[in-house]
Structures are given as C-alpha cells and as structure tokens.
Structure 1
C-alpha cells in the first residue's frame, strides 16, 4: 500500500461563489473529510504524532459545478515537516490536479525512526506541486493580539458566532468555519484597495486565492463570538498576500491565522491579470509585516 483513496465527492452548485467556481472553504472541507478517512485507514492519531500544526493548501485548477472530486492521501517524510501528510485533490473526470494540502506535524524527534516504520505502507515521495511557494511552510505564531495587529494597520472585516452547524466531530469549530469567516470578510479587505467591487465588476475581474495556510492557535466552541482582523503582508506584479487573524471576541484570544496569496482573474479568459499600478502602491503602503 502507498497512496490511499480517501474521498469521492462532487461540486454542488450552492458551493460555488461569485466567480462560478468551488469556494475555497469547500476545498478545506473536502481535505478535512479526506484526512478523517486517512487517519482511519492508516492509524495516524494525535497520540502518535501530536496535533496538526498547519494545513497548507495550493490551488492548481478551478473546479466548477458538476465536476467530480477525488482525493488521495499519503505520508511524506521528505516534506517540509518532520511528518507531512499530503492530500491530492483531483478532478475525478479528467484526473487533473486541482488542489493540494500539506498537513504538518512535529512529533518528538526520537520517534522519527519508529514513525517511518509504522507508516511505511502509506509513504510516498513529496510532490513538487504541493511545495509552498508564496508562503512559508511553518505555522504562524500564536502571540498576536487584536490591539497589536490593529496598531500595525490590520482592520476588522468580519464578526460572527460559532453555531452548532460549525462544529466538527471533535466538538470544535472546523476548518470550513474559519475559512467561511475569512472569505465572507475578504471582499471588505479588497475594498480598501483600488480593486474595489465596482472596479472588478466594470472590468470583468474576480478575486481569487492561489495559496493558503491555516494555523489553529486555540479551539472555538458553540456560542463563541468571533472577529477577523486582516492586514496586507506583501505585494508583487500579479499577486499580493494578506493575513487574517481570527479572534474569540469576548476574551480577545487568538483562535486561528489564515495566510493568503491572492490575485485578480479575468473571468472570461480565466487567467491572472497584473495589478494596476495604483493598487501595487496602495497595498505597499499598508503592509503590516
């Protein structure tokens, strides 16, 4: 045994966003289910490897209404973490790679040899397509505070509440919830730049994420209220990056951090377009890192 088939799914119309493709929160939900299945098949557990430190996702191909989805999962000991689980999400109709996720674990160094032996039947080499590019591989730090990130220029873009439907099987808010908070808030982040809703609509452009890194700091439970504060962290000719900080509102504790590399896409050609010069200049002045 090596790579394992861990998910068979389908893109529903209601999961697609204003760009007419699968919203990123549902890529994360597919990876979450694939991971549950892989843990069952392989015997991987937090008792053996500790809690997941980071999930790093890259988007390679759009998925649209009606597309089939498959996920295959394996362990890579040559990945960016001491133990890396790779999830390869493909278009089930064509076999093309649509997205990849790297789940990073840092078990005790003394257990490395035993883990290699234990998971040898589920091991595959690291694939280059999944390697981090616009974001570092390591998890984000856990020391951010709301006043601290606001003092650097981050601004609030979302407020919400954890509802029963947002809770996973471990009684904590799941990845999809964190992503939904950030994706609902991100249009307000774009609105701070020259690439406003009006600008995008007039030019036939859309907002697209190409790489994301989710780091959980503390769990959220039903009834917790949350707030997202976001700031820009970098800008290039076609892409820019931002960091969403998800805080529990009552205590101000950091729950999760989502790092994102985004671009503007021509919705007709389905290709990235260069940022307007004024957007590059504006974002560069707003960097929080």
Structure 2
C-alpha cells in the first residue's frame, strides 16, 4: 500500500517502457530523473507556475541540486506513481520531495529531493516567489521532513 505523506499529491503516473530499460533490464537512472522532472513540473503547475506564468509574470524556476536514493528496481511493464510535496518553500528557495512507488504493490522504489530557486527571467537571477504562489504552496508544505 502506498503511504505517501498527507501533504503530498500525485504528480506523475506511468508504466515503465522497454526502451527506458538498460542492458540489465531495469529502468535506467536517466529515466528515473525524467519521471521526477515531470513530477516537479506537475507540482509547480498546481501552484500556477507554468508556461503562462513564465510568459505573463516573467518568473522561472531553476533546479540547483538533486539527491536520489534508489530502493528497488523497476522493470518493463511496472506501473509507477510519484507523490510530491514541499519540505521548504520560502522566499526564493524550494525543496521538493518526490517519492516514487510501485503503483501496484505500493513499495517505495526511489526518492528524490529537488532543490530549486525562483528566477526573475529578465534579470537572470534568483528572486522571491510572489505571495500568491507562496500561499498556494503552503497547502503542500510538510515541516516534518
């Protein structure tokens, strides 16, 4: 049974494709990262940080660090779900937690901590998130991480 954090939401669901597997037959690390990246963009979209935001408000987001722990291999045909929440969301700083599960068996298969900053695209430097975005993020903020 999947035991995601109560502040988490489902941010990605997919099936491992054969072409995503390496010569040992399991999901290759580059594809774990692609799935975590999709989850991050879906999490930001929940806040309204999306293409429209980038165009109209000139904001942006830049990943600055990732930490990944692999716990169980996934094979072609396995179903994946990723649940995400914030551990830090203040000023310009974000720490997002992604937990990847075997969507059928419920086992935790990988975890990713993503550190990112909000950007002012014109100045090309970090800047605080707008207050309305921060307020939306607080719903998904878990201070017990």
**1:208 pairs with 44, 62, 67, which one?**
62
Q: In 1, distance between residues paired with 2:25 and 2:49?
A: 39
- Quote how far apart the aligned CAs of 1:200 are: 2.4
Match of residue 4 from structure 2: 149
1:231-280 CA-partner distances (Å, limit 9, x unpaired): 11112211111111111111111110111111222334322121112333
1:202-230 CA-partner distances (Å, limit 9, x unpaired): 12222211111000111111111111111
Q: In 1, distance between residues paired with 2:134 and 2:57?
A: 17
User: Which structure has the highest strand share of the two?
Assistant: 2
1:124-165 CA-partner distances (Å, limit 9, x unpaired): xxxxxxxxxxxxxxxxxxxxx63x325x12111111111122
Match of residue 286 from structure 1: 140
Q: Which has the higher contact order (CA 8 A, sep 6+)?
A: 2
Matched, 1:181 2:35: yes
**1:238 pairs with 80, 83, 92, which one?**
92
List structure 1 segments (4+ residues) > 4 angstroms apart after TM superposition: none
Q: In 2, distance between residues paired with 1:172 and 1:155?
A: 26
Matched, 1:225 2:113: no
Q: How does 1:1-289 map to 2 (within 5 A)?
A: 146=2, 148-150=3-5, 152-288=6-142, 289=144
Q: 1:194 to 1:159 in 2, by over 3 A?
A: closer
Q: In 2, distance between residues paired with 1:283 and 1:205?
A: 16
- Quote how far apart the aligned CAs of 1:196 are: 4.5
Query: Where does the alignment leave 5 or more consecutive residues of structure 2 unmatched?
Result: none
Match of residue 8 from structure 1: none
Match of residue 33 from structure 1: none
| Paired positions, count | 143
1:30-86 CA-partner distances (Å, limit 9, x unpaired): xxxxxxxxxxxxxxxxxxxxxxxxxxxxxxxxxxxxxxxxxxxxxxxxxxxxxxxxx
Normalising by structure 2, what TM-score? 0.86
Does the CA-based 8 Å contact 1:234-1:284 persist in structure 2? Answer: no
What's the RMSD between the two structures over aligned residues? Answer: 1.9
